[in-house]
Amino acid sequence: MKMKRVCFLTFIIMLALSGKGMSYPPAVGILGKAASCMSCHANNGPWTDERQTIIDVLDKDTMKSLGQADGTFLVTVKRGQPKTLLTVIGRTKGDTAGAPYRNAWLYLDASTIGGSSLSKFAPGWDVNLPMSCRIVGDKLDQYEGAALTALPMTIRPTDAARDAELMLQVMLTQGESVKGKPKEGMLGSYFERKVKLKVIDE
């Protein structure tokens, strides 16, 4: 986990030194004070039907959804212990809008925007993959026939961790943004989900 964190921080520093930080999702809250993907990209994609959109967070050990009745996700973790989650994004089988080509997502603690830390995840929580872009094509039994991305993320509450609330920002995309003009060239549909982190002390 330590090596992955070093690689991630190195990548972000290289982006910061390269000039304009227009790519997603690293620009959100890291290369500037933007709090949303929408600060750079257009919400102009055809995947607007929530009933056919899949956004789920699973416990990788049990493969059960952590979704709650109010539409949020609740993640409970014992202090000092790692927990691996699976971020699942896509469109249901038979989607009339056609499948996106690539999905992007970011877990963001809004309280970190404007701070000096490169990490925009909840303070006091170790995390190895708080953001990613992935080409659609993963398979899960729970979503048979769906056009999906599914990628694991491991988190661990340290001694400094407290209960926290994250915003999971998601973009379903197709095409490529024009360099220097991120609102052009790419189709994208933007969604948000609230994720609550709870520390269990024993």
Which amino acid belongs to residue 2? K
d(CA 198, CA 202): 13
Angle among Cα 13, 192, 72 to the nearest 5 degrees reads 115
Mean pLDDT over 186-200 rounds to 94
Question: For the chain, which domains are there?
Answer: 2-200 (2.60.40.10)
At residue 116, does pLDDT exceed 80?
no
Q: CA separation (Å) from 121 to 46, 126, 141, 165, 166?
A: 29, 8, 29, 10, 8
Band of the pLDDT at 188, cuts 50, 70, 90? confident
Confidence of residue 32 (pLDDT cuts 50, 70, 90): low
What is the pTM (predicted TM-score) of this model?
Answer: 0.81
